[in-house]
Amino acid sequence: MRYLSTRGGIAPVRFKDAVMMGLADDGGLLLPESIPAFSAAELESWRTLTYPQLAFKIISRFVDDIPATDLQALIDRSYATFSHPEVTPVVQKDGVYILELFHGVTLAFKDVALQFLGNLFEYILHERHERLTIVGATSGDTGSAAIHGVRGKAGISIFILHPHGKTSPVQALQMTSVLDENVHNIAVDGTFDDCQDIVKGLMGDLEFKQKYSLGAVNSINWARVLAQVVYYIYAWLRVAEQGRKVVFSVPTGNFGDIFAGYMAQQMGLPVEKLLLATNENNILTRFINQGDYSVGTVVQTLSPSMDIQVASNFERYLFYLFKQDAARVSAAFAQLKAEGKISFSQQELQQVRQDFRSASVDRQATLETIRQFKHDTGYLLDPHTAVGVRAAQELVTDDTPVVCLATAHPAKFGEAVVEATGDAVPVPPAIAQLEGLPTRCVRMQADAGQVRAFIILTVG
Ligand SMILES: Cc1ncc(COP(=O)(O)O)c(C=O)c1O
Ligand SMILES: N[C@@H](CCOP(=O)(O)O)C(=O)O
């Protein structure tokens, strides 16, 4: 299996090189040269597999440069850290299925991919006798999951940029209380988009990227998306009869999670529709419903991890929407840079509406959904998950099974849940133990030069 760039400017690379490259060297994103399909019969034969066994079946189709026994061992080690034996269990509540993705070490869906990516980096670096400097941007969850995926690992330094004061207090503590020598937190005076721009800017400077062996933990790294494909298939196997189509409702920020669902569908998973749920930062909803992809200003919401305007994986979807025409993708991003928007043909917009439906859920509706769901079922939703549940309630009116992705544990966003329900959230030990821990973090302006200087000074 070879990987190509959405911008068409690199020679095809194999899986391990794609993982190490992160952002493609031409500024695009990496994708497999073809999507390996599975048949309905194969899907049926996977019903009794454990999560790690299923993960191997899926991931191995995209990887031909790691021996099978090593790949299975990497996968087993990654999912042994989850507190639930099913890794990503599905529960049924009030007519919808909730796919719980928060049983990893940092209580958010990011652990599913970042435990795997951390182990993968370690494996490749050991094999190649190389070092890696990870530079990542976070609106709160990727950062802590990445830090916990690589803390203390030999040969890896990690620099995580988060928008100062714009994550939840628990998210901030989960990152800054990790004092391992290889972990560096940077609080940026700006938004997540500023952080992501800085990271992409540094990765785009190929001399710097090479000299400091920069690596990516954000979903620009193909391995992130690949690991996330697995739980769509796992969930389908738990809720659907043979051949039955299912709706997935996905709270969306950087478009990585829903793009993984799109890949699962392209591989052969019977998906009726992917519902793209946004908070007030609703550029993607405007795009799907009105064809308007114009960048606005980020606003702070109850679901801070989705406070994003420029969703980086959207580029991967555009590559397929534009029928794998890399020149068209490059032109679209040139237009975005020059005019702050991308224009689409009517035919393209029709295709988009076949692929997705979308709703934007505001603060009031998020609070109401958390409150009502708790009242009706006793189950606590975190505000991101609530956005997805609400979108499903608005968009699905027939009896198609609906799976809502529960992307974080409610205790990570206790303030929002208390505001909605009036009750304190039971605090799991992983969060209780953070209280009073010493922290380390440097604060900087949203300036790539400052971040670069800090990395040089620290790594040497
Ligand atoms: C809890 C939570 N829900 C949803 C999202 C949105 O996911 P994505 O950025 O992959 O669209 C994020 C951030 O990525 C998140 O941390
Ligand atoms: N919501 C994310 C933002 C970064 O997204 P990623 O999936 O590209 O890493 C976060 O919590 O940091």
- pLDDT per position as a tens digit, 240-261: 999 999 999 999 999 999 999 9
ipTM of the complex as predicted:
0.99
For residue 274, give the DSSP letter. E
Q: Which two tokens stand for residue 219?
A: 């979903």
Q: What is the tens place of the pLDDT at every residue in 95-149?
A: 899 999 999 999 999 999 999 999 999 999 999 999 999 999 999 999 999 999 9
Averaged pLDDT, 142-161? 96
Q: What are phi and psi of 402, to 5 degrees?
A: -115, 125
Helices (H) and strands (E) in the chain, counts: 20, 15
Q: How much of the chain, in percent, has pLDDT values that exceed 90?
A: 99
Distances (CA, A) of 22 to 161, 219, 306, 324, 438: 17, 9, 22, 20, 32
Ligand 2 mean position, distance from CA 39 (Å): 32
Whether domain 90-105+222-421 has CATH 3.20.20.140: no
Q: How close is the Cα of 257 to the center of ligand 1, in Å?
A: 7
Give catalytic residues, as residue numbers. 110
**In angstroms, rounded to a whole number, what is the distance separating the alpha carbons of residues 257 and 197?**
20
For position 98, what pLDDT does the model report?
A: 98
- Backbone Cα Rg of the chain: 20
- What DSSP line would sit under 219-251, residue for residue? TTSHHHHHHHHHHHHHHHHHH--TT--EEEEEE
pLDDT band at 39 (very low <50, low <70, confident <90, very high): very high
Please tell me the distance from the alpha carbon of residue 236 to that of residue 233, in angstroms, as a whole number: 5
**Separation of CA 241 and ligand 2 centre (Å):** 33
DSSP code of residue 382: P
Residue 256 Cβ < 6 Å to ligand 1 = yes
Token pair, residue 379, equals: 């189950």
State mean pLDDT over 310-334.
97
Question: Best of 114, 160, 252, 360 to mutate for ligand 1, by most ligand atoms within 8 A of CB?
Answer: 252
Please give the helix or strand (H or E) that residue 390 lies within, else none.
helix 383-395
pLDDT at 460: 84
* Ligand 1 contact via 257 beta carbon (within 6 Å): yes
The finding on whether 149 has its CB within 6 A of some atom of ligand 1 is no
Q: What is the DSSP string of 134-181?
A: EEEE-SSHHHHHHHHHHTT-TTEEEEEEEETT-S-HHHHHHHHT---T
Give the residue, by CA position, lying nearest to ligand 1 atom 15: 305
Q: Does residue 62 register a pLDDT over 90?
A: yes
d(C-alpha 355, C-alpha 265), whole Å: 10
Confidence tier at 94 by pLDDT (50, 70, 90): confident
Q: How far is the CA of 305 from the centre of ligand 2 (A)?
A: 7
Write down the H helix ranges in 247-377. 256-267, 283-290, 314-321, 326-339, 346-355, 363-377
Neighbouring C-beta atoms of residue 33, cutoff 10 Å: 10
Most ligand 2 atoms within 8 A of CB, residue of 144, 228, 254 to mutate:
254
Question: What six digits make up the tokens of 330?
Answer: 């490059």
Token representation of residue 271: 């998906």
Burial of 361 (0-12, 13-18, 19+ CB in 10 A): buried
pTM of the model: 0.97
Residue 268 φ/ψ region, left for φ over 0, alpha for ψ in the -120 to 50 degree band, beta for the rest: left
> Ligand 1 center to residue 261 CA distance, Å?
13
Which bound ligand lies closest to the C-alpha atom of 382? 1
Dist CA 342 CA 332 (whole Å)? 6
pLDDT at 126 (0 to 100):
96
Residue with CA at minimum distance from ligand 2 atom 11 = 141
pLDDT at 55 over 90: yes
Residues with CB under 6 A from ligand 2: 138-143, 218-219, 253-254, 256, 305, 312
pLDDT 10s digits, 394-433? 999 999 999 999 999 999 999 999 999 999 899 999 999 9
Per-residue pLDDT averaged across 32-38, rounded?
Answer: 98
**Domain ranges across the chain:** 90-105+222-421
Name the DSSP class of 181: T
Average pLDDT over the chain, rounded to an integer = 97
